[in-house]
């Protein structure tokens, strides 16, 4: 849909075109490299003179959208390419000598000024807002309109691109420009390409062509630059690898070229080119060389082409078409307007605003085409997936009152390079010599047009020798990395940038718009440094304040003072006194600083005196908010107390003087005022300043004060919730702030002193003693009998806790109090403590009827007679019998209870109670058996560990010595001779060792190992002689082993006998068990 000037909506007639099969492809020879060209002399170009007729139009006019139509079924007849070539030879631009460039600045950007030659005509507008519109109105009307209109701030600022461009344009003329994220590529009339940085400094240069370069294209990675020239060649040069270059000779003047966005990353090296031959050719690198695919032909020269993503847009004499490389289909055809001038005189500009929005500017028309998707049809068998088809919708068409040399997006608007002309252009020849004569060119303009077709701003650009050039000699190239725009003419390159904050602030100051200037300075952070160092914020602010005060806007002036005056104390004092002189001191008081900067004491005391006379509430707020060291506190106290003498009931003044006493470190003088005011802060005051001795005789007043505050809060809360106010029988809080303060500081406020003050107020006395009991039950032991009475009166629920915790009260007196108030549980407890258990049990049974409590009471007393009374009483009460059965334990035998049940007595729930008893007994038996099993297992395991520890072998070495004698027990283990008798050692569990001879001197030892070995050898010889076997009953070895075993058994027996005697047994040294 397209918006119309009146707000109506026009429907579009554009429909997606049907896909057409591509023509057959052809493979060309390998491209010529740049290195093979050598030095080609420059070919001078001549200015083209075209005779055009005058044409007029309406600015911002919307036209019916009838220029978008379906792709024609048949290609239109081709135009005469020869005529186009002849016209092209006349349009190469001017070779006139240009003026010398001005000196460049260090940054490479030259301030844009008026050209030196030729001087501007008197009627032409200087650089700034708009151009002169002659004939629209007389001079007087124009002056009146200028007076009525408010001057608008320029949108852009301009500067010339300096660096190496100055030298380039002195010797040559610019014909094409392309900007990437890293470089600027400049093509000239002599066929040279210069790679520049963004300051205009030359990075690289090469000359791939012998004639004017019409178009340049840089890939997305800034690695390759392609050029199309009038010499019929397309050249592609790598910017990172000088050896990689391609030359394609297409033998007809080339008007445009576009590299595939990912040209440097793909091996196919795709690009499209077009020119005077009328063919748009897609070039692609393959195995056998580059192949060419003609995407379109037969509609006249290809004037422009742009490649974005998978979409290629191009323009020819018929209009604009778009091709989708992913589907290899042309998706739309957008025709030119019927009254359009010749395509060669006013070039078409194509610019992809994003991946699916194409901006088309041609002659005086602007079109916005959006590529959209829709689902296609299913496959032939109905099982294929839905395929998306692309179609184009022209969303806006504008006709402007100028010719367009270039277009680019500018935020939400469009930026166009406009060329004003009064000629009417047509395709008919004329014999009028005046019409054939070339007219001087007008100054180009940069206009910003909204998406609704409204012109937002217009700046006339003073380019060098602009009167020599026509619309087709200018170009507009946006920078992809920022909001810069390059305006190119054959003799000049101007950079247009959005005005920054410094430019905006300077313009606001110039227009005396101080408030806006200050706001801009605050938000930009430029004040006092960098680009905005020339702005004196204080001076601007002072002028603004003077303006506001003169205008009577005191509130706004006071609000602005902190931003303007900052930390300048002198300025603050001057402006405060100024406000005081004008009777508006109250306006500036909220903004007066108390630190950074701190003003003189006179200023603050003057403000407090003003409040003391006119606004006591503000005086109190100010005293609380301000630091006390910025004014004389004692002087202010004297002034306020003087006012209190005249107004003794002024609560605000009393609170103010109390606050000042606190600030002046005199809390004792502030306490009477707090008590009069009944402020909750009195307790904080007492705690913070340790004023307990000052209030030890005012306990009753403090408690009443605290209770009144709580009651007031309760009423306010009730009123806020819509509840009805009721007289409270008890205080709102259990103790209250005052009582907590008295209890926490009993060392400063003695308990007897407080009790004596509260004797006439039993409720407050109860709260005080209860708080003491909660803190420590022994603090108020002197008043235990009084506490029993108070608990019974005010909090019977807590009486039982007190009776259990305290031992200082009289049992008889406490029982009488509980009996008077019929407090049965407490009476039961007291009877139990007095030893009258039967009476207590009778109270439980008769008055409470609580079986569980009776059982618990009997358990606590642990008296068999009491259990007997309970069982006897329960014989005729089924509920008690069931309760006893359900809660039977170790204290009572269930059989004893069951036998007391009389025959015929109906007991509800008896069956379940008996089942529960049996289940409990079964559970007890199971637990006992389990415990038995665990105990048996543990005993067996420990016995085995003991047996293993006592029977394990002991390592004897040649260094083992006797504990008593210190002699080696087994000398043969250390290489000494073997003794005649068997060495034998005794090892105790305490790890002490003794030799057998040391323990038992008269014990007969068995033969030694050597003797046993000799007996063994003799036994072997005897066996050969027919004697008995080695280990048979008569063998020597068997006899020796038997002797040892008998000796060991005898030794163990002796040791056991020693252990049975009280004075002997075990180790001689420590008495532990033996281990032989």
**Secondary structure (3-state) at 849:** coil
User: Who's near 244: CB < 8 A, 6+ residues apart?
Assistant: 237, 238
CB-count exposure of residue 423 (10 Å: 0-12, 13-18, 19+): middle
**DSSP state, residue 495:** E
Stronger pLDDT, 879 or 698, i.e. the higher one: 698
Do 467 and 360 lie in one domain? The reply is yes
Boundary of a domain, candidates 577, 593, 609: 593
Q: Quick count: other Cβ atoms within 10 Å of Cβ 231?
A: 21
Average pLDDT score over residue span 541-570: 90
Cβ burial of 254 (10 Å; 0-12, 13-18, 19+) is buried
Q: Name the more confident of 58 and 847.
A: 847
At 985 the pLDDT is 79
Dihedral sign for Cα 224, 225, 231, 232, please.
positive
What is the total count of domains within the chain?
Answer: 3
Q: Please report the sign of the dihedral spanned by the C-alpha atoms of residue 1001, residue 1005, residue 1007, residue 1009.
A: negative
Q: How far apart are CA 542 and CA 575, in angstroms?
A: 10
pLDDT bin (cut points 50, 70, 90) of residue 917 is confident
The H or E element containing residue 321 is strand 319-324
Answer yes or no: do 467 and 554 share one domain.
Answer: no
What DSSP character marks residue 386?
P
CB neighbour list of residue 486: distance below 8 Å, 6 or more residues apart: 161, 177, 179, 184, 476, 477, 478, 479, 493, 494, 495, 496
d(CA 700, CA 823): 31
| Cβ neighbours of residue 269 closer than 8 Å, sequence gap 6 or more | 236, 246, 260, 263, 283, 284, 285, 290
- Place 994 in a pLDDT band, splitting at 50, 70 and 90: confident
pLDDT of amino acid 95:
34
Residues 848 and 356: their CA atoms lie apart, in Å, by: 91
544 plus 430 within the same structural domain: no
* Poorest-pLDDT segment among 94-98, 309-313, 543-547, 715-719: 94-98
How high is the pLDDT of residue 1070? 76
* 256 φ, ψ (degrees, to nearest 5): -155, 155
**What is the number of other CB atoms lying within 10 angstroms of the CB of residue 140?**
8
Quick check: is 625 in a domain? no
Prior bond of 118 cis (ω within 30°):
yes
Asked whether the predicted pLDDT for residue 92 surpasses 60, the reply is no
How far is 774 from 915, CA to CA, in rounded Å? 46
Residue 194: strand pairing partners = 186, 205
Does any domain span residue 981?
Answer: yes
Q: Are residues 467 and 541 in the same domain?
A: no
Q: Are residues 221 and 354 in the same domain?
A: yes
Q: Look up residue 77 and give its DSSP letter.
A: P
Higher per-residue pLDDT: 798 or 914:
798
Instruction: Please tell me which residue, 386 or 625, carries the higher pLDDT value.
Output: 625
End-to-end alpha carbon distance in the chain: 115
**Is a pLDDT exceeding 80 seen at residue 17?**
no
Q: Comparing 169-178, 372-381, 849-858, which segment has the lowest mean pLDDT?
A: 372-381
We report the CATH number of the domain holding residue 343 as 2.130.10.10
DSSP states of 211-264 as a string?
S-EEEEEE-TTS-EEEEEETTSEEEEEESS-TT-EEEEE-SS-EEEEEE-TTGG
**Average pLDDT over every residue of 9-32:** 36
Strand-pair partners of 237? 225, 245
Cis peptide bond N-terminal to 597, omega within 30:
yes
- Both 221 and 314 in one domain: the answer is yes
What is the model's pLDDT at position 889? Answer: 60
Assess whether 302 and 196 both reside in one domain: yes
Same domain? 544 vs 467? no
Is residue 103's pLDDT more than 70? no
- Asked whether residue 242 is domain-assigned, the answer is yes
Count of all residues that appear for the chain in the document: 1076
Q: 619 lies in a domain?
A: no
Which residues, at least 6 apart from 667, have a Cβ–Cβ distance to it below 8 Å? Answer: 661, 685, 688, 689, 691
539 Cα distance to chain centroid: 41
pLDDT of residue 214: 96
When pLDDT is averaged across residues 451-464 and rounded to a whole number, the result is: 91
Q: Identify the pLDDT of residue 386.
A: 54
Instruction: Convert 504-537 to b/e letters by CB count within 10 Å (16 or more is b).
Output: bbbbbbeeebbeebbebbeebebbeeeebeebeb
> How far is residue 510's CA from residue 105's CA, in Å, rounded to a whole number?
26
Contact 574, 545 (CB under 8 A): no
Whether residues 467 and 553 fall in one domain = no
For range 483-498, the mean pLDDT? 95
Query: Is a pLDDT exceeding 70 seen at residue 15?
Result: no
44 has a pLDDT exceeding 50: no
Which of 439, 471, 503 finishes a domain? Answer: 471
* Closest listed residue to residue 885, CA positions, set 915, 861, 865: 915
Task: Tell me the C-alpha distance between 105 and 160, whole Å.
Answer: 10
User: Each residue of 154-196: pLDDT tens digit?
Assistant: 889 999 999 999 999 999 999 999 999 999 999 999 999 999 9
Asked if 280 and 302 count as a contact pair (C-beta separation under 8 A), the reply is yes
- Contacts by 484-487, CB closer than 8 A, 24 or more apart: 485/156, 485/408, 485/410, 485/415, 485/446, 486/161, 486/177, 486/179, 486/184, 487/406, 487/417, 487/444, 487/446, 487/461, 487/463
Phi, psi angles (nearest 5°) of residue 990: -85, 5
Please name which of 338, 357, 320, 314 lies closest in space to residue 64, comparing C-alpha atoms: 338
Judge contact between 662 and 677, C-beta under 8 A: no
Q: CB of 489 within 8 A of CB of 464?
A: yes
Q: How confident is the model at residue 534 (pLDDT cuts 50, 70, 90)?
A: low
For the ranges 372-386, 868-882, 904-918, the lowest mean pLDDT is seen at: 372-386
Q: Rounded CA gap, 1007 and 1036, in Å?
A: 12
The secondary structure of 341-364 as a DSSP string is --TTTS-EEEEEEETTEEEEEETT
Least confident of 79-83, 256-260, 566-570, 685-689: 79-83
Residue 838 Cα distances to 162, 329, 857, angstroms = 118, 112, 10
Do the beta carbons of residue 411 and residue 451 sit within 8 Å?
A: no
**130: alpha, beta or left, given left = phi > 0 and alpha = psi -120 to 50?**
left
The parent domain of residue 565 ranges over: 536-593
Cα–Cα nearest to 783, from 804, 762, 808: 808
DSSP assignment of 665-728: T-HHHHHHHHHHHT-THHHHHHHHHT-HHHHTT-HHHHHHHHHHHHHHHHHHHHHHHTPPP---
Average pLDDT (371-392) is: 69
Can you tell me whether residue 106 is helix, strand or coil?
coil
Write out pLDDT tens, residues 1008-1059.
544 544 444 444 444 444 444 444 445 666 776 777 777 777 777 776 676 5
Q: Are residues 319 and 433 in the same domain?
A: yes
Dist. CA 52–CA 342, nearest whole Å: 9
219 assigned to some structural domain: yes
Q: Which of the listed residues 593, 612, 637 is the one where a domain comes to its end?
A: 593
CB atoms within 10 A of CB 703: 27
In a domain, 339, yes or no: yes
Q: Is residue 309 in some structural domain? A: yes
Phi, psi for residue 5 in degrees, rounded to 5: -60, -30
pLDDT score at 278 = 94
pLDDT band at 430 (very low <50, low <70, confident <90, very high): low
> Is the separation of the CB atoms in 397 and 365 below 8 Å?
yes
Average pLDDT over every residue of 13-42: 35
Residue 285 located in a structural domain: yes
Reported as a single tens digit per residue, the pLDDT across 125-160 is 334 333 333 334 444 444 445 444 567 888 899 999
Say if residue 429 is in the same domain as residue 557: no
User: Which of 393-407, 688-702, 901-915 is predicted with the least confidence, judged by mean pLDDT?
Assistant: 901-915
- Report phi then psi at 168, rounded to 5: -65, -45
Mean pLDDT of the chain: 77
Higher-scoring residue by pLDDT: 234, 287: 234
User: Does residue 582 share a domain with residue 441?
Assistant: no
């Amino acid at each position: 849909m397209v918006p119309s000037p009146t707000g109506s909506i026009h429907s579009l007639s554009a429909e997606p075109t049907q896909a057409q099969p591509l023509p057959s492809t052809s493979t060309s020879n390998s491209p010529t490299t740049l290195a093979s060209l050598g030095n080609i002399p420059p070919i001078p170009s001549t200015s083209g003179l075209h005779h055009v007729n005058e044409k007029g139009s309406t600015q911002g006019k919307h036209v019916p959208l009838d220029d978008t139509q379906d792709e024609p079924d048949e290609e239109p007849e081709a135009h005469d390419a020869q005529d186009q070539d002849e016209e092209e030879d006349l349009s190469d631009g001017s070779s006139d000598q240009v003026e010398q460039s001005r000196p460049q600045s260090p940054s490479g950007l030259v301030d844009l000024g008026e050209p030196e030659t030729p001087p501007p005509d008197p009627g032409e507008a200087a650089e700034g807002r708009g151009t002169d519109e002659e004939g629209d109105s007389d001079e007087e009307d124009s002056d009146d309109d200028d007076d009525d209109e408010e001057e608008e701030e320029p949108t852009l600022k301009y500067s010339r691109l300096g660096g190496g461009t100055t030298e380039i344009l002195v010797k040559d003329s610019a014909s094409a420009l392309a900007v990437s994220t890293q470089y600027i590529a400049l093509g000239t009339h002599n066929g040279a390409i210069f790679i520049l940085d963004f300051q205009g400094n030359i990075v690289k240069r090469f000359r791939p062509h012998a004639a004017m370069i019409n178009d340049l294209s840089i890939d997305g990675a800034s690695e390759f630059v392609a050029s199309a020239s009038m010499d019929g060649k397309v050249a592609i040069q790598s910017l990172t690898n000088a050896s990689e270059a391609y030359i394609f000779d297409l033998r007809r003047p080339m008007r445009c070229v576009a590299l595939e966005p990912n040209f440097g990353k793909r091996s196919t090296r795709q690009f499209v080119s077009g020119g005077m031959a009328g063919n748009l050719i897609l070039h692609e690198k393959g195995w056998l060389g580059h192949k060419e695919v003609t995407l379109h032909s037969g509609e006249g020269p290809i004037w422009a082409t742009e490649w974005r993503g998978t979409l290629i847009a191009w323009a020819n004499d018929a209009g604009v078409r778009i091709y989708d490389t992913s589907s290899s289909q042309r998706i739309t055809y957008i025709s030119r307007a019927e009254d359009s001038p010749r395509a060669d005189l006013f070039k078409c500009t194509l610019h992809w605003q994003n991946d699916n929005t194409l901006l088309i500017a041609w002659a005086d028309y602007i079109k916005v085409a959006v590529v959209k998707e829709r689902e296609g049809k299913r496959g032939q068998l109905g099982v294929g997936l839905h395929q998306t088809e692309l179609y184009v919708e022209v969303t806006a068409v504008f006709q402007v009152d100028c010719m367009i040399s270039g277009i680019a997006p500018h935020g939400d608007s469009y930026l166009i390079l406009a060329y004003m002309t009064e000629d009417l252009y047509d395709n008919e020849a004329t014999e009028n010599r005046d019409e054939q004569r070339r007219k001087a060119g007008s100054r180009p303009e940069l206009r910003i047009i909204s998406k609704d077709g409204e012109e937002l701003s217009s700046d006339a650009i003073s380019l060098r020798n602009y009167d020599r050039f026509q619309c087709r000699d200018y170009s507009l190239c946006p920078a992809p990395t920022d909001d810069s725009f390059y305006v190119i003419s054959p003799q000049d390159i101007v950079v247009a940038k959005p005005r920054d904050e410094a430019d905006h602030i300077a313009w606001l100051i110039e227009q005396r718009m101080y408030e806006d200037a200050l706001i801009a300075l605050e938000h930009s952070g430029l004040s006092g440094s960098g680009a905005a160092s020339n702005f004196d914020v204080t001076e601007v602010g002072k002028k603004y304040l003077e303006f506001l005060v003169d205008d009577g806007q005191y509130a706004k002036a006071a609000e602005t003072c902190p931003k303007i005056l900052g930390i300048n104390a002198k300025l603050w004092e001057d402006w405060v006194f100024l406000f005081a002189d004008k009777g508006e001191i109250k306006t500036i008081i909220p903004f007066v600083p108390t630190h950074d900067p701190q003003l003189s004491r006179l200023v603050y005391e003057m403000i407090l005196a003003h409040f003391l006379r006119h606004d006591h509430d503000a005086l109190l707020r100010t005293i609380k908010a301000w630091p006390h060291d910025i004014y004389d506190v004692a002087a202010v106290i004297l002034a306020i107390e003087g006012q209190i003498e005249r107004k003794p009931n002024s609560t605000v003044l009393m609170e103010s003087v109390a606050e000042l006493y606190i600030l002046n470190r005199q809390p004792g003088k502030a306490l009477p005022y707090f008590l009069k005011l009944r402020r909750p802060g009195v307790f904080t005051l007492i705690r913070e300043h340790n004023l307990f001795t000052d209030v030890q005789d005012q306990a009753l007043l403090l408690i009443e004060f605290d209770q009144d505050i709580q009651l007031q809060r309760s009423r306010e809360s009730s009123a806020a919730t819509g509840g009805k106010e009721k007289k409270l029988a008890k205080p709102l809080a259990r103790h209250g702030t005052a009582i907590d303060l008295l209890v926490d500081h009993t060392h400063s406020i003695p308990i007897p002193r407080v009790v004596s003050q509260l004797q006439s107020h039993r409720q407050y006395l109860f709260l005080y003693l209860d708080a003491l009991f909660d803190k420590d039950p022994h603090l108020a032991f002197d008043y235990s009998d009084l506490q029993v009475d108070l608990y019974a009166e005010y909090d019977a629920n807590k009486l039982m806790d007190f009776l259990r915790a305290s031992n200082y009260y009289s049992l008889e007196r406490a029982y009488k109090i509980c009996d008077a108030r019929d407090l049965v549980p407490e009476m039961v407890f007291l009877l139990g403590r007095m030893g009258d258990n039967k009476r207590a049990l009778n109270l439980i049974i008769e008055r409470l009827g609580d079986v569980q409590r009776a059982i618990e009471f009997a358990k606590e007393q642990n008296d068999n007679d009491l259990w007997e009374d309970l069982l006897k009483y329960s014989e005729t009460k089924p509920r008690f019998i069931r309760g006893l059965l359900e809660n039977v334990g170790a204290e009572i035998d269930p059989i004893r209870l069951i036998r007391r049940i009389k025959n015929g007595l109906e007991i509800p729930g008896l069956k379940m109670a008996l089942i529960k008893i049996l289940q409990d007994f079964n559970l007890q038996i199971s637990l006992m058996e389990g415990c038995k099993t665990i105990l048996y297992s543990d005993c067996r395991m420990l016995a085995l560990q003991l047996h293993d520890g006592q029977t394990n072998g002991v390592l004897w070495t040649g260094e083992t010595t006797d504990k008593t004698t210190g002699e080696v027990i087994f000398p043969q283990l250390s290489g000494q001779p073997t003794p005649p008798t068997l060495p034998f050692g005794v090892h105790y569990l305490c790890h002490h060792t003794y030799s057998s001879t040391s323990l038992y001197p008269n014990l007969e030892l068995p033969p030694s190992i050597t003797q046993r070995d000799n007996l063994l050898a003799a036994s072997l010889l005897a066996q050969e002689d027919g004697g008995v076997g080695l280990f048979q009953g008569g063998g020597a070895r068997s006899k020796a082993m038997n002797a040892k075993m008998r000796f060991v058994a005898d030794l163990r027996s002796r040791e056991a006998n020693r252990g049975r005697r009280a004075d002997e047994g075990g180790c001689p040294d420590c008495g532990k068990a033996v281990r032989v």
